[in-house]
Amino acid sequence: MKTTTDPRHRHRVRLMQHLYSSAVQNRPDTFVTLIWEKLSTIDALVAKAAPEWPIDKLNPVDLAILRLAIFELTVDKSTPYKVIIDEAIELAKEFGGENSSKFIMAPWETSSRIPPSDPFHESQPLPRHHAVSG
């Protein structure tokens, strides 16, 4: 992340916020539909990344950040691996709890529990065309 005004960072912030909101409402809004369609596979990777934490026990902000990062790593693939991880850590520092950044960083520190490969059978870019007020 260059600055908090970087448009790519702001876009990730909005995606993370919409993922959080969609999880609370238990239905996706149109801004995160592509991510939501892959949620069962993404959540399986989240469970693999944090085996000691069941999905329903995770901090919802941390879960939204992990879901976004895993989607970018495994489906979108338009951003370098290191940038995705750095952005996820920055989001955790900005929006998460006291230990969120350490929690978000842990899966990638411990021998890459989440591989940057495509467990899905297609790739689609992140939705970048939606206007979101905020």
Least confident of 4-13, 59-68, 76-85, 121-130: 121-130
- pTM greater than 0.85: no
Q: What integer pLDDT is reported at residue 92 of this predicted model? A: 97
Average pLDDT over residues 55-75: 95
CATH topology of domain 7-109: N-utilizing Substance Protein B Homolog; Chain A (1.10.940)
pLDDT in tens, 75-119: 999 999 999 999 999 999 999 999 999 999 887 775 455 555 544
CA distance readout (Å), 128 to 7, 71, 94: 11, 14, 22
- What is the C-alpha to C-alpha distance for residues 90 and 93, in angstroms, rounded to an integer? 5
Residue 128 pLDDT: 46
Side chain identity at residue 16, one-letter code: M
Q: What is the pLDDT of residue 124?
A: 47
The domain ranges of the chain are 7-109
Q: Please state, in angstroms and rounded to a whole number, the distance separating the CA atoms of residues 29 and 36.
A: 9
Residue type, 116: P
